[in-house]
Amino acid sequence: MRKGISTAIVVILVLLIIISLIFITFQWFLEYSPQTQWELEKTLEKEGCLKIENIDINNKKITIRNCGKVELSNFIVYLDSEPIAHYSEALDSGEIIQISYIEEIYPGDHDIQVSSDYAEAPKIFFYRPPYFEGVLYLNFNEDGGTTARDSSVYGNDGTLYNGTEICYNGYCPTWVDGKPEFGKALDFDALGDLVKVTADSSLSVYGKTAITVMAWIYPRSSGETGYGRIVSKENRVGDNQGEGYTLRMHNDGTVFAKVRHSTSTAMAYTEVVSFNDWNHVAFVYNEDENQYIKMYRNGALSISWDQQGVGSVLDDTDIDLRIGNFEDAGRTFDGIIG
């Protein structure tokens, strides 16, 4: 009888252990089974959200935001489907971070995508325009030396001169601070200073249908003899003659531009500009505008007098371009350019 009871207890205990093991296994299965893990990830993905807030091509930074409810990490930035940056730290819900990259994004069509452990940012498509489509861009930001580098793809670098001499100490355009947002600039002394860019077909008006010339200037006066040059691509035949084009000061405080034609030169004057202050001055010549010149002062159309060009544009292909002076260096700008 006793033996029977003992056997029954052992059987019950064994059964209890088996039931417990089955229960624990079931619990574990519920918590860690591949099916549940998959479901958990599905939930995280459902609640995960990632957004590209900004693409800063100039400073090479992508700004992303965690727009979901779950923490995200392990970010990978893709440019045109190629990984270009990785960021492994976690980003809480609502947080924003900037991810830096070193790749150069060239002009053209591109897309950026960012992935993370539980969310992917929608792909952003964008177009980077060409760097600079003009033929000459001198920013005068070198702050030293005798070369002014051209930022266009044409390589029309300039050289600093005093008269016919390449610069030497004390008699040259001087590197100074420019308009605050535009770095350094060149100060012209109203006596011989100039920057010379050797003639190149890319710079001539001859054979083209339109040109635009513009500059930031800080004039102290109208310059040497009252006709200080800003940009001059003309040969030395009087102040309004000579093949080519010019943008220069005029002795009444206006700025003048011309494009020489065979019969009558296209000419125009702005209204008076400010001395001892920064002015943006520009002229646009376009054959389609009946060969008139349009002049701009601080971004607004500014014409106090103009004259239509008659005949054809004369050949200026072989004439060097100068900043701050003209061919024989007798029309020096007085002030800062750049």
Stretch that binds Ca ion, among 26-34, 81-89, 156-164, 302-310 (CB under 5 A): 156-164
Question: With the C-alpha atoms ordered 311, 316, 322, 325, is the resulting torsion angle positive or negative?
Answer: negative
Tell whether residue 137 is a contact of Ca ion (CB under 5 A). Answer: no
Q: How far is the CB of 231 from Ca ion (least distance, A)?
A: 15
- Binding of residue 173 to Ca ion (CB under 5 A): no
Size of the site for Ca ion (CB under 5 A): 14
The closest residue (CB) to Ca ion is 192
* Type of residue numbered 154: Y
Nearest to Ca ion of 114, 185 (CB atom): 185
d(CA 265, CA 313) in angstroms, rounded, equals 9
The stretch among 98-106, 184-192, 245-253, 276-284 that binds Ca ion (CB under 5 A) is 184-192
338 binds Ca ion (CB under 5 A): yes
| Minimum distance, C-beta of residue 302 to Ca ion, in the bound complex (Å) | 23
Binding test (CB under 5 A) with Ca ion, winner from 67, 76, 79, 191 = 191
Is residue 302 a contact partner of residue 224, using CB atoms and an 8 Å limit? no
Please say whether the beta carbons of 137 and 152 come within 8 A: yes
End-to-end CA distance of the chain: 114
Q: Count Cα atoms within 13 angstroms, Cβ side, for 295.
A: 27
Of 34-42, 165-173, 235-243, 296-304, which part binds Ca ion (CB under 5 A)? 165-173
- Nearest distance in Å: CB 179, Ca ion: 7
Residue from 78, 154, 171, 275 binding Ca ion (CB under 5 A): 171
Question: If binding is defined by CB under 5 A, does position 139 make contact with Ca ion?
Answer: yes
Whether 300 and 203 have beta carbons less than 8 Å apart is answered as no
Minimum CB separation of residue 184 from Ca ion in Å reads 5
In whole angstroms, how close is the CB of 161 to Ca ion at the nearest point? 9
CB of 54 to Ca ion, least distance (A): 27
C-beta of 140 vs 206, nearer to Ca ion: 140
To Ca ion, the closest distance from the beta carbon of 295 in angstroms equals 22
Quick one: 62 or 185, whose CB is closer to Ca ion? 185
Nearer to Ca ion, 91 or 321 (CB): 321
Separation in Å, CA 39 to CA 10, 42, 44, 208, 302: 41, 5, 9, 68, 69
193 binds Ca ion (CB under 5 A): yes
Which span sits near Ca ion by CB under 5 A: 175-183, 265-273, 275-283, 293-301?
175-183
Should residue 330 be labelled a site residue for Ca ion when binding is judged by CB under 5 A?
A: no
Residue 247 CB, shortest distance to Ca ion, in Å, is 17
Q: How far is the CB of 336 from Ca ion (least distance, A)?
A: 10
Quick one: CA dihedral 183, 257, 147, 157, positive or negative? Answer: positive
CB closer to Ca ion, 99 vs 186: 186
Give yes or no for residue 158 binding Ca ion (CB under 5 A): no
| Chain residues in the site for Ca ion (CB under 5 A) | 139-141, 162, 171, 178, 182-183, 185, 189, 191-193, 338
